[in-house]
Structure 1
Amino acid sequence: MTEPVDPDVDLADVRRRRQARRSQLRVLAAVAAGGSIGAAARYGASLLWPTPPAAFPWTTLGVNALGCLVIGVFLVTLTEAWTAPVWVRPFFATGVLGGFTTFSTYCVDIERLVAAGRPGPALTYMAVTVVAAMASVTAGAWITRLILAAVRRKAGRTR
């Protein structure tokens, strides 16, 4: 015996919503797994290169610039050279690199410098981080496009 069904409810629509929910949970799991890896790598960098409270936060600046460089390389590779499974982008770009780059620590570092009576270095750090992040992501994308173009030219000559 089957249960009564409301004639106004499209069962296919209910199935689609369930599938969408499962898909969203998979993406969330990929982001969470990647984020834990990225955050652990960032924490490792802070242990390897600790920054005293009133010192210029070179480690955070380096981590953010490196993460932005990698995301430039990755996203160009993903969109222009490689068809990856759907979980790769949320896992690596949002999860790993989102957990690795640390703009919340960037804000805390600025506050620490100001609280230590160092507003000049705080303002410098604020500006340099934004410029370094933008320059890094742009350089990563640009260099990757140059490499991909060279590989394509070479592949075209060898055929």
Structure 2
Amino acid sequence: MKHLALVFLGGGLGSVLRFLIGKFLNSSETGIPYGTFVANILGSLLIGLILGYASKNNGLSHEQTLLMATGFCGGFTTFSTFAYENHVFLKTGDFTSFAIYTIASFIIGFLAVFAGMYLVKWF
């Protein structure tokens, strides 16, 4: 039950922060979902840092990892919103935005995870 509470707490905090970032960065004028992109990239970097630190000399307890990686990062990042936004791009025929957003999200997201794990090795 304690583990569920930790994931619940972390997920709630991450979701609220993602909501706030989206509120300030997503633009109805351009239609570009900058908020989702920023949240997903920052979340990727953060999970790389967290899991890199957790694996380095057992730097975090299982409970801390559940709270921060599973809970917070899980609530902060959002694949479902990313998928919906791409659906909108395709529905409106904006294939260029679809391609750029999708490719950039995957490539930069993966690089952010690797960068986070790499940075932990230096500290």
Q: Same fold (TM over 0.5)?
A: yes
User: Does the 8 Å CA contact 1:53/1:113 hold for their aligned counterparts?
Assistant: no
Secondary structure of 2:27's aligned partner: coil
Deviation, structure 1 residue 65: 0.7
AA partner of residue 78 (structure 2): T
Alignment deviations for residues 31-67 of structure 1 (CA, whole Å, 9 cap, x no partner): 1111000000000101111232862222211111111
Q: Does 1:66 align with 2:42?
A: yes
Inter-partner Cα distance in structure 2 for 1:67 and 1:113: 23
AA partner of residue 24 (structure 2): L
TM-score by length of 1: 0.71
Q: Which has the higher contact order (CA 8 A, sep 6+)?
A: 2
User: Does the 8 Å CA contact 2:11/2:76 hold for their aligned counterparts?
Assistant: yes
Q: Does 1:119 align with 2:59?
A: no
Secondary structure of 1:87's aligned partner: helix
Report matched runs for 1:17-96 at 5 Å.
Answer: 25-52=1-28, 55-96=31-72
AA partner of residue 15 (structure 2): A
**Two-structure CA RMSD over aligned residues (Å):** 1.6
Structure 1: gaps (5+ residues): 1-24, 149-159
Inter-partner Cα distance in structure 1 for 2:61 and 2:99: 41
Structure 2: gaps (5+ residues): none
Inter-partner Cα distance in structure 2 for 1:110 and 1:142: 30
Secondary structure of 1:140's aligned partner: helix
User: Does the 8 Å CA contact 2:7/2:72 hold for their aligned counterparts?
Assistant: yes
Inter-partner Cα distance in structure 2 for 1:127 and 1:29: 35
Q: Return the index of the structure with the highest Cα Rg.
A: 1
Inter-partner Cα distance in structure 2 for 1:29 and 1:80: 25
Deviation, structure 1 residue 85: 3.2
Inter-partner Cα distance in structure 2 for 1:64 and 1:53: 21
Amino-acid identity (%): 26
**1:110 corresponds to which residue?**
86
User: Does the 8 Å CA contact 1:54/1:112 hold for their aligned counterparts?
Assistant: no
Inter-partner Cα distance in structure 2 for 1:129 and 1:105: 12
AA partner of residue 82 (structure 2): Y
User: Does the 8 Å CA contact 1:53/1:112 hold for their aligned counterparts?
Assistant: no
Number of aligned pairs? 123
